[in-house]
């Protein structure tokens, strides 16, 4: 059993809360990613079973809600959170999350938090932390939302953003992408605020989704023929994943790769496929498995060398050639039949899987990304043969980096937009008015992936 970092006091603190607060500190101090730090910490500290589940729920839940928790903490502490010592703030956030968003009793939430403050920061801030958390415990989440969120009648978007713990600008982007429907916005923010299922991909030709579901105890996915849903547990422990027969991949991403592999071409498929932004290799691995079945080969381009290495690992034994290059100037011969541009983007569609990301992104990030996305898609079309198909995708529903980029390219270059909705498996509802596809967590249970298929004239 792991022990708390400081044993000055007699109360042993449970390993789950110690791990959670250590991850929150890493996120705050060095911009770490909670979903990378926590699994490693659990393994290193041999935290398993219920303790691991609790640590995961507390860490990710607190990270997702942090902006909302901070407003409540600042109100009660009567000072901005920037004036609170970081180590104390981490514990206050963790304690407030437990009080407002879990079924953990108020006494346990407050007393474990006070113990954590004492063990990490000494006696000085104990009284302060105790008083703040006791006061927060006097109301439930709904009452805090009522008293601190913008008014529902004057500022509906601001209200929903607060209620579902999203920065306001992101709620505005979702609202625009959803066509201004308040009901849809509420559903989208609520779904984005929940713990997502883990999605596995059964690599075609190696294992079927049915076999993978049987081995893992998961459930076969609704839309992608390769998908299995898992509710909890560390997928890294699963044999089919360790053996490379399966991977972790959102079902929406699986549909993107499948669409590229199956889109109808004009003229024969000569077997030259390209993934222009391939790191860390999730889609390249699925494309590689599909290429093997079709007798094709995939060139996988990635600018960052360490991410290119990850592609090599995930595509070992598959017909995939990895190139460290800039997708805007690859040096590869043109004439590809199929090209994927899974563009670098804001990631606003995958916020539920990257707990702290919503509080890190800025609206200013978008303009620069849109320039890069346009350049990458132009380059892809240059590398494509006439009659070939390019699929442009983002894990974002932001109108500027999705339809905005594609519409401009269609107006500028000799390409025709295909009805991408017709290229996904039958029976997926809620794909909108087309021609592109926008998936949503609240409608499809996937990340909010956007994708558009274009054919070169």
Ligand X SMILES: C[S@@+](CC[C@H](N)C(=O)[O-])C[C@H]1O[C@@H](n2cnc3c(N)ncnc32)[C@H](O)[C@@H]1O
Contact between 77 and 39 under an 8 Å Cβ cutoff? The reply is: no
Dihedral (CA of 317, 321, 324, 328) sign: negative
- Per CB under 6 A, 278 contacts ligand X: yes
| Residue 442 interacts with ligand X (CB under 6 A): yes or no | no
Known binding residue 327? Answer is: no
Candidates 28, 134, 328, 408; binder of ligand X (CB under 6 A) is 328
> Counting contacts by CB under 6 A, is residue 408 touching ligand X?
no
Smallest distance, ligand X to C-beta of residue 413, A: 18
Q: Does the annotation list 441 as a binding residue?
A: no
In Å, the largest CA–CA distance within the chain is 75
For the four alpha carbons of 283, 285, 288 and 289, in that order, the dihedral sign comes to negative
- Is residue 283 near ligand X by the rule CB under 6 A? yes
Whether residue 8 contacts residue 119, with contact meaning beta carbons closer than 8 Å, is answered with yes
Q: Is 83 annotated for ligand binding?
A: no
Of 98, 119, 101, 120, which Cα lies nearest the Cα of 109? Answer: 98
Cα–Cα dist 455/220, whole Å:
32
Q: Which residues in the 227-256 window bind ligand X by CB under 6 A?
A: 253
419 is in an annotated binding site: no
Whether the CA torsion 392, 396, 401, 405 is positive or negative: it is positive
What's the sign of the alpha-carbon dihedral 302, 307, 309, 311? negative
Contact flag: residue 91 with ligand X (CB under 6 A): no
Binds ligand X by CB under 6 A, chosen from 57, 299, 302, 447: 302
- By beta-carbon proximity to ligand X, the closer residue of 98 and 346 is 346
> Interacting stretch for ligand X, rule CB under 6 A, among 123-131, 177-185, 275-283, 438-446?
275-283
Of 80-88, 210-218, 240-248, 277-285, which segment contacts ligand X by CB under 6 A?
A: 277-285
Q: Strand (E) positions, 343-444?
A: 384-394, 415-417, 437-438
DSSP three-state, residue 10: coil
d(Cα 26, Cα 21) in Å, to the nearest integer? 9
324 binds ligand X (CB under 6 A): no
Site for ligand X in 180-209 (CB under 6 A): none
Q: Judge whether 227 counts as a catalytic residue.
A: no
Whether 189 contacts 171, CB under 8 Å: yes
Residue 456 marked in a binding site? no
327 binds ligand X (CB under 6 A): yes
Residue 287 touches ligand X, criterion: CB under 6 A:
no
* Binding-site member from 158, 204, 344, 432 for ligand X (CB under 6 A): 344
Does position 288 interact with ligand X (CB under 6 A)? The reply is no
Report the nearest approach of ligand X to the CB of residue 312 (Å).
13
Window contacting ligand X (CB under 6 A); options: 194-202, 278-286, 348-356, 429-437: 278-286
Nearest to ligand X of 302, 337 (CB atom): 302
What φ, ψ does residue 436 adopt, rounded to 5°? -90, 175
Q: Which is nearer to ligand X, 79 or 316 (CB)?
A: 316
Q: Is 125 annotated as a binding residue?
A: no
Residue 194 is labelled as binding a ligand: no
Q: How many CB atoms lie within 10 A of CB 200?
A: 28
Cα→Cα distances 269→90, 260, 266, 340, 388, Å: 55, 12, 9, 15, 8
307 binds ligand X (CB under 6 A): yes
Q: How many CB atoms lie within 10 A of CB 260?
A: 28
On whether 46 is known to bind a ligand per the annotation, the reply is no
Q: Any known ligand binding at 227?
A: no
Pick the closer one to ligand X by CB: 196 or 281.
281
Q: Are 92 and 129 in contact (CB under 8 A)?
A: yes
Stretch that binds ligand X, among 12-20, 155-163, 281-289, 416-424 (CB under 6 A): 281-289
**126: alpha, beta or left? (left if phi > 0; alpha if psi -120 to 50):** alpha
∠ at Cα 128 (123, 131), nearest 5°? Answer: 125
Q: Which of 279, 355, 435, 445 binds ligand X (CB under 6 A)?
A: 279
| Complex with ligand X: residue 302 or 401, whichever CB lies closer | 302
**Is 282 flagged in the annotation as binding?**
yes
Q: How far is the CB of 347 from ligand X (least distance, A)?
A: 8
One of 91, 188, 343, 395 is an active-site residue; which one?
395
Residue of 131, 143, 182, 304 interacting with ligand X (CB under 6 A): 304
Contact status, residue 166 vs residue 193, Cβ threshold 8 Å: yes
Active site residues: 395
| Residue list, annotated binding site for S-adenosyl-L-methionine | 277-283, 302, 326, 342
Residues that bind ligand X (CB under 6 A): 253, 277-283, 301-304, 307, 326-328, 342, 344
């Amino acid at each position: 059993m792991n022990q708390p970092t400081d044993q000055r006091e007699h109360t042993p603190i449970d390993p789950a809360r110690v791990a959670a607060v250590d991850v929150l500190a890493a996120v705050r101090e060095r911009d770490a990613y909670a979903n990378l730090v926590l699994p490693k910490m659990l393994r290193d500290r041999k935290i398993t079973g219920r303790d691991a589940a609790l640590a995961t729920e507390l860490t990710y839940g607190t990270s997702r809600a942090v902006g909302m928790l901070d407003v409540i903490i600042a109100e009660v502490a009567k000072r901005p959170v920037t004036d609170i010592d970081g180590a104390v703030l981490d514990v206050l956030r963790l304690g407030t999350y437990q009080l407002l968003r879990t079924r953990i009793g108020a006494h346990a939430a407050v007393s474990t938090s006070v113990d954590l403050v004492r063990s990490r920061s000494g006696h000085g801030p104990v009284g302060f932390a105790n008083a703040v958390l006791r006061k927060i415990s006097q109301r439930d989440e709904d009452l805090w939302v009522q008293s601190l969120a913008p008014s529902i009648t004057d500022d509906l978007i601001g209200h929903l953003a607060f209620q579902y713990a999203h920065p306001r600008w992101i709620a505005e982007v979702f609202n625009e992408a959803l066509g201004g429907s308040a009901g849809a916005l509420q559903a989208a923010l609520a779904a984005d605020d929940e713990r997502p299922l883990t999605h596995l991909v059964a690599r075609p030709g190696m294992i079927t989704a049915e076999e993978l579901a049987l081995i893992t105890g998961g459930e076969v996915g609704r839309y992608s023929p390769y998908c299995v849903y898992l509710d909890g547990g560390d997928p890294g422990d699963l044999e089919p994943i360790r053996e490379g027969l399966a991977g972790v991949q959102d079902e929406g991403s699986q549909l993107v790769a499948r669409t590229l592999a199956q889109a109808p071409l004009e003229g024969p498929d000569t077997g030259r496929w390209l993934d222009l932004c391939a790191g860390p290799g999730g889609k390249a691995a699925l494309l590689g498995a599909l290429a093997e079945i079709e007798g094709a080969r995939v060139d996988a381009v990635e600018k960052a060398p360490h991410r290119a290495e990850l592609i090599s690992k995930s595509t070992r034994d598959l017909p995939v050639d990895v190139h460290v290059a800039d997708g805007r100037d690859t040096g590869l011969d043109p004439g590809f039949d199929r090209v994927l541009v899974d563009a670098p983007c804001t990631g606003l569609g995958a916020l539920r899987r990257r707990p702290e990301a919503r509080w890190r992104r800025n609206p200013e990030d978008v303009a620069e990304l849109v320039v890069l996305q346009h350049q990458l898609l132009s380059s892809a079309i240059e590398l494509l043969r006439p009659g070939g198909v390019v699929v442009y995708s983002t894990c974002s529903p932001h109108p500027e980096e999705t339809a905005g980029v594609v519409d401009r390219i269609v107006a500028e270059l000799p390409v025709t937009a295909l009805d991408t909705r017709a290229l996904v498996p039958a029976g997926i509802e809620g794909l909108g008015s087309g021609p592109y596809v926008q998936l949503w967590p609240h409608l499809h249970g996937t990340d909010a992936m956007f994708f558009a298929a274009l054919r070169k004239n």
